[in-house]
Chain A
């Protein structure tokens, strides 16, 4: 199994009013010094094959066709931890 993570963000030149609304809420909560917030989407794809270049290529094709609208958004694809990996959280011993 392979897990591919697709992160989709609005292009930098596109105004992100949702991110701005989040940023404006932060000082009220006592978080100072946050100069910008951008909000995006994260997709986690589970693939039944190995975590190889072909898996990344397939995820890129999916992102290009459906997950991102490349008129306004850009995306990155990376490998993520599979469900099997997550069964043993890092830093903890299995029973």
Chain B
């Protein structure tokens, strides 16, 4: 039986279908999850997709955090359920306090939509094991509130514990210490502003390539689940 990877749809989610497609491409069983349903349908891992859940009202991710499905995701994550939050999903993870820090308005106030060069800093998470440490990859970003911020002590902790998952090579928005993604202490929860699910196929990935640098996020988790 293939591993089951769930993707949550909130009202205002945009990239849930792309995430489901990416999950299917690597050979896992994509399972749609619904924001109002606390049932995680026996999934082995969860992706919180990009978009503007609940219209980003109040703060990005602030209201999604209290949805019925998130109560199950938060409880599961604390017991080791692998969770990947992409863009809005990262914002939801920070609002849920599964990850430290916050994502606030980009330094230049612009919504930024472009292919972004990143360096993978940690391969010790369930979602990045298939990368080589220090590998440079290209993955699109598209956000207006993607500037990662946290107090200095938290940033030092993240660095010291190897929990910075990816850094921008050309910091687009003023993110603290060029941080594009982080992990929790256990390494099962990862949040990332760039969109690996938009870099999984030659036809639709970054042009002129590399087009499929996002795939290892999905192959990594699949291998972990199959091995488990």
List the interface of chain A (C-beta within 8 A of B).
10, 14-15, 17-18, 21, 66-67, 69, 71-72
How many residues of chain B have a CB within 8 Å of chain A? 18
B94 adjacent to chain A (CB < 8 Å):
yes
Report Cα–Cα, A17/B112, bound state, in Å.
15
Given contacts A14-B149, A15-B107, A72-B149, contact A66 B102 (CB under 8 A): no
Nearest chain A residue, comparing its CB with the CB of B152: A13
Contact between B150 and A71, CB atoms less than 8 A apart = yes
Of A17, A67, A71, the residue contacting B101 (CB under 8 A) is A71
Contact between B109 and A17, CB atoms less than 8 A apart = yes
B24 adjacent to chain A (CB < 8 Å):
no
Nearest chain A residue, comparing its CB with the CB of B104: A72
Contact between B109 and A21, CB atoms less than 8 A apart = yes
| B contact face: mostly helix, strand, loop, or mixed | loop
Contact between B105 and A18, CB atoms less than 8 A apart = yes
Given contacts A71-B150, A72-B149, contact A14 B104 (CB under 8 A): yes
Report Cα–Cα, A66/B57, bound state, in Å.
11
- Chain B residues in 8 Å Cβ range of A15: 107, 174
Nearest chain B residue, comparing its CB with the CB of A18: B105
Report Cα–Cα, A14/B152, bound state, in Å.
12
Contact with A along B57-71 (1 / 0, CB 8 A): 011001000100000
B102 to nearest A CB, angstroms?
A: 5
Report Cα–Cα, A18/B108, bound state, in Å.
9
- Chain B residues in 8 Å Cβ range of A72: 102, 104, 149
Contact between A69 and B105, CB atoms less than 8 A apart = no
Nearest chain A residue, comparing its CB with the CB of B101: A71
In B75-108, the 8 Å CB interface with A consists of 94-95, 100-102, 104-108
- Chain A residues in 8 Å Cβ range of B105: 17-18
Nearest chain A residue, comparing its CB with the CB of B105: A17
Nearest chain B residue, comparing its CB with the CB of A71: B102
Q: Using A17-B108, A72-B104 as known contacts, list a sample of 16 further A-B pairs with CB atoms less than 8 Å apart, ordered by residue number in A.
A: A10-B104, A14-B104, A15-B174, A17-B106, A17-B109, A18-B105, A21-B109, A66-B66, A67-B58, A69-B59, A69-B62, A69-B102, A71-B94, A71-B101, A71-B102, A72-B149
